[in-house]
Structure formats: C-alpha cells, structure tokens
Amino acid sequence: MSRKILALACALSGCLGAGYSLAADDPIRVTIEADKPGATINRHIFGQFAEHLGRGVYEGVWVGPDSPIPNTRGIRNDVVAALKAIKVPNVRWPGGCFADEYHWRNGIGPRDKRPATLNPNWGGVIEPNTFGTHEFLDFVEQIGADAYLSVNVGSGTSAEAADWLEYLTTPQPSALGKERAANGHADPYKIAMLGIGNESWGCGGSMTPDYYVSQLKVFARYARNYNPQQTMQRIAVGPDSAHTEYTKAVMEAWKNKTWAWDIEGISLHFYTVVKWPPAFKATGFGEDEYASLLSETRRMNDLLNTHVAIMDEYDPAKKIALVVDEWGAWLAKTPGSPEGFLEQQNSQRDALIAALNINMFARHADRVRGANIAQMVNVLQAMIFTQREKMVLTPTYHVFRLYVPFQDATFLPTKVSAAEYKHGDVTLPRVDVMAARDSTGKTWISLSNLDPTRPAEVSVDVNGAKARGARGETLAATRVDSVNTFDAPKAVAPRPFTAKVSGGLLKMMLAPASVTVVALE
C-alpha cells in the first residue's frame, strides 16, 4: 500500500493516537522548554469579528424576537451556546469597512422606527438597523465576551463618536445617559476596546498616515470612556499587511504625544489570500493550493516581526499592543452566493490556517495582545454557518475550541528538530508546535502536522516537567478539503487522543494535515 493510501486509511478508520503502529518516516523531536516560561498568551488573541456584511449579523446572530428560530431577545440561542463553548473573549463590531459608514443613532430606539439605510460596501443591500447598539451589547453579554467597538472616523465626526461613548458609558443622568436608560439600559455599558477607524488607509477614507494621525488625536481625546468599572483600550489603525507607513506614523505620534490623548494598541490586518481578488477555491483544491495557502499564512510571522521591530524602536517597554484585528483565509466565494456576501466553505485546511496563525500570535505574546478572526458567522473564515434554523460548526471552530486552554496561559518556548514538508517550491516545517502552561500548572501542547499525506511520528521531551502521558483531542479529516455541511455536520470533528511515555519521551503519531492539542499528565 502506498504511503498516501495508508495515511488516508488510517484517518478514515480513526486509528491515530495511542496504539497506532503505522511507521512514519523522519521521527520528529520536540523539546518543550518548560523551565523558560515566556509571556502570557492574552485570551484576546481569540477574539471574533462580526461585521454587518452578508449573513454575518442578520440570520447569523440576529433573527428577531418573533422568529420561530429559538432566540433570546432576537439573538439565536444555538449560536450563543456554540460561542460560549469557545469562550469568546471579545467581539469586534460593527465593522470593518461598514464601521466607517455606520451612524449609531440609526440603531437605537424602537426597532420599528429605525431607518432603513444602505450597505454600499457589501452588496449594496438594505441595512435595517434592527441590530444596533443595545442588541450588540445584549449579544456580547449573552456569550460572556467583551465589546470591541469601531467608531466611524471615515464619514463620521468626533462629536458623533464622543456622543456614542457618552451614551454607552456614562453613569450620570446626562441627556445621553437618560436616553440610554429610556431605551432600556439604566446601567452604563462596559466597552473594553475602541477601534479608532478601520483601514483608514483604504475603505476607511484613503487617508495619508499624517492625516490619519491628526484624526486619531482628536478622536482619542473626545471618544471618552466614562464607566469607571471598565478600562477601555483605544486601538489606532495600523498597518495594512507589510506596509509600514502607518506603523511608523502612529508610533512616532504616540511617542511624542501630549497629555491630551493616548492609545493602548494599534491594529494590523492581514488575510491569507495569495493575490487579489481572492481566487483560491474553498473545496475541490489540490496540493498546490493547499501548500501555497499554508505558506502564505506563514507570512504573518514576517509581518509580526517587521511591525514589532518598528514598535520596539518607539516603545521598548511594549506598552502598546499589536492587535491583529482582521485575519484569516479569504477564498473565492461559494458558487451561487450573493456578490459581496463573502461566503466561503471552511475545510480542514482552514483548521490548519487557524492553528498556524494562533501559534504565531502566541510566539509574539509579549506584543500581540489581541486578534480577531474574520469573521464569526457565515462570512470568510467563519466559526459557524447557519441556514435558517440550522447551524453547523466549522473545522476552524473546532480549533478555537481545542485552544481554549491556551487563553491566558503562559507561553513555553519549544524546539522542533528539522523536518520538512515540501511541495513544488513550497517548503514548510512538517510539524508546527506551540506549548503553554495554564493557571493550574498544567502544560498544554498543540501540534499541527502540515504534511497532507504523511503521518508524523513525534517524540516530545519536556525539560523542567515530568510527564506520565498526555491526553487531549485531535482534529483530522479524510481529505484536506473535508468540510462540515448541514447534512453531515460532524464530518470533521475532534476525537480523543492519548499519548504514552516511552524511554522518557512522550510518543505520538499525528495524522496527516491534523491539529492535536494535549495536556501533559
């Protein structure tokens, strides 16, 4: 039997894990330097992004209180339950490009009186404004997440943003505070993060770095948080992928700032896309597309190094966070789906793309203290798909669930012996590893076998910690383009995985193109 067929047969029969005896070539040695703990992996790197785009919010989250789909105050219960299970730390809303055309007053007050507006960025559809400020904050409360709002810098004013923040956060009976109470929320809301514009170098107004910086100073001054129960981090627009002009301009302005304004973070946007417009198919792709998208994903590490180095020049104490508040695979749209809705299937390849990105963020944990995958439901690299009353969890969702133990855990450096996956002109490490220690002292390891045809035999050496074995889950699939559908919702789902110690080393066999997360015992 060829190696490919053996690997496939094993993936099909679920024989990976303890007791699996198929010999893999190139045994790989992983060393976890448990005695050299690094920074905390901020739970906010597992943030979500919900833009008014396609079916991301309407249908994906909001069905309205009169819907036959089970809901709580209009917010669908199945989606809330699924998101609670992955402990979403924050949700970024209302955009994206949409945020720079959003006027918050359209989305408050009685829903039947709210104006219908347009959503020119995304299909030119009607925006009913039935999901507005109170609905969003109800939603994040239901899932137990923090609110990350983006204010409109592109087509709004600093006065509009200042009013929104006063409306949201003041505990005092000002006119805006009273208006909020009259609209059903007497207590001030907690706003943990505030994005000051979105892609101001592009859809957010095509601003030069200097022009944006002048806007930033004004908005950062007047869009105030009045709620003493919640500190609010202000996130400036930062770089588009590898472009460094915004990184330099914002950091230089921050370094020379006066008492009158401040920020706590800058954002980076980078999608796994290879070239625009996105043309890579979400399913039915071959190994060429598999390898090149994984390789493109790993460019994130170069970008993090580039922008972190610039930030270090201006801010060696690492006060300012780098927040990668848009990331993920951007693929060709699902055939037949509406233009501008950015609907795409989500396969085992997406699971690997998610794990690779999260691992890169964790390796930069001292600076990357927030990230938001694009996007949460029905859009781009989604966690969840809905179709009327039906819901399905994607392979990417399962990675976020497997990675919950890494939230706020302490990063542990790892060394991996040289072993490569090569395809055409792409060369990648065979296995991508990330480890951390949680607050109870348990050590967690994530291992992704990037090779789509060969299982990987791995021996793990844990310096500074004793292990008798390891237990966790593995996410593998029969094909790299395997997906979950409404008819077959569990085609790609995690399965239990155990590993035993032999000769002082933890031995494990990783399925081709799999993501495995285990805790040492």
Distance, CA of 26 to chain centre:
33
Answer yes or no whether residue 240 interacts with ligand AHR by CB under 6 A.
Answer: no
Q: Which stretch binds ligand AHR (CB under 6 A): 101-109, 129-137, 197-205, 297-305?
A: 197-205
Say how many CA atoms lie within 13 Å of 343 toward its Cβ: 18
Please say which residue, 237 or 501, places its beta carbon nearer to ligand AHR. 237
User: How far apart are CB 50 and ligand AHR at their closest, in Å?
Assistant: 10
Q: Which of 129, 133, 142, 198 binds ligand AHR (CB under 6 A)?
A: 198
For residue 83, what are its two tokens?
């998101």
Residue from 385, 138, 148 nearest 265 by CA:
148
Determine the residue with CB nearest ligand AHR: 96
Answer yes or no whether residue 95 interacts with ligand AHR by CB under 6 A.
Answer: yes
User: How far apart are CB 163 and ligand AHR at their closest, in Å?
Assistant: 24
Contact 306, 240 (CB under 8 A): no
Please say which residue, 48 or 198, places its beta carbon nearer to ligand AHR. 198
Answer yes or no whether residue 96 interacts with ligand AHR by CB under 6 A.
Answer: yes
Answer yes or no whether residue 97 interacts with ligand AHR by CB under 6 A.
Answer: yes
For residue 378, what are its two tokens?
């029905």
Please say which residue, 162 or 374, places its beta carbon nearer to ligand AHR. 374
For residue 240, what are its two tokens?
């588009």
How big is the CA angle at 264 (ends 241 and 172), to the nearest 5 degrees? 130
The residue count for the chain: 521
Kindly state the DSSP code that residue 511 receives in the 8-state scheme.
P
Q: Which stretch binds ligand AHR (CB under 6 A): 164-172, 345-353, 374-382, 474-482?
A: 374-382
Question: How many angstroms separate the CA atoms of 396 and 256, rounded?
Answer: 41
Query: Following CA atoms 324, 329, 330, 331 in sequence, which dihedral angle do they give, to the nearest 10 degrees?
Result: 180
Identity at 116, one-letter amino acid code: A
Q: Which stretch binds ligand AHR (CB under 6 A): 20-28, 307-315, 372-380, 500-508?
A: 372-380
In whole angstroms, how far apart are CA 230 and each of 134, 146, 320, 410? 18, 10, 18, 24
Q: Which stretch binds ligand AHR (CB under 6 A): 101-109, 175-183, 196-204, 259-267?
A: 196-204
Q: In the stretch 202-221, what mask flags binding to ligand AHR with x, by CB under 6 A?
A: -x------------------
Answer yes or no whether residue 374 interacts with ligand AHR by CB under 6 A.
Answer: yes
Please say which residue, 7 or 380, places its beta carbon nearer to ligand AHR. 380
User: How far apart are CB 379 and ligand AHR at their closest, in Å?
Assistant: 7
Answer yes or no whether residue 10 interacts with ligand AHR by CB under 6 A.
Answer: no
Name which of residues 311 to 330 contact ligand AHR (CB under 6 A). 326
Answer yes or no whether residue 264 interacts with ligand AHR by CB under 6 A.
Answer: no
Contact 38, 410 (CB under 8 A): yes
Q: In the stretch 37-56, what mask flags binding to ligand AHR with x, by CB under 6 A?
A: --------------x-----
Please say which residue, 226 or 330, places its beta carbon nearer to ligand AHR. 330
Answer yes or no whether residue 343 interacts with ligand AHR by CB under 6 A.
Answer: no
Question: How many angstroms separate the CA atoms of 348 and 353, rounded?
Answer: 9
Which segments of 314-395 are extended strands (E)? 321-329, 368-374, 384-387, 390-393
For residue 356, what are its two tokens?
């690779």
Answer yes or no whether residue 199 interacts with ligand AHR by CB under 6 A.
Answer: yes
Please say which residue, 243 or 318, places its beta carbon nearer to ligand AHR. 243
**Phi-psi label, residue 388: left if phi above 0, alpha if psi -120 to 50, beta otherwise:** left
Residue count, binding to ligand AHR (CB under 6 A): 11
Contact 111, 130 (CB under 8 A): yes
Q: Is 332 exposed, middle or buried (0-12, 13-18, 19+ CB in 10 A)?
A: middle
Q: Which residues are catalytic?
A: 199, 326
Helix axes 158-169, 175-182, angle to 10 degrees: 60
SS3 content of the chain, % helix, strand, coil (to 5): 30, 25, 45
Answer yes or no whether residue 127 interacts with ligand AHR by CB under 6 A.
Answer: no
Contact 472, 446 (CB under 8 A): no
Please say which residue, 344 or 410, places its beta carbon nearer to ligand AHR. 344
Answer yes or no whether residue 371 interacts with ligand AHR by CB under 6 A.
Answer: no
User: How far apart are CB 404 and ligand AHR at their closest, in Å?
Assistant: 24
Please say which residue, 396 or 443, places its beta carbon nearer to ligand AHR. 396
For residue 271, what are its two tokens?
């999608």
Please say which residue, 146 or 326, places its beta carbon nearer to ligand AHR. 326
The residues binding ligand AHR (CB under 6 A) are 51, 95-97, 198-199, 203, 326, 374-375, 380
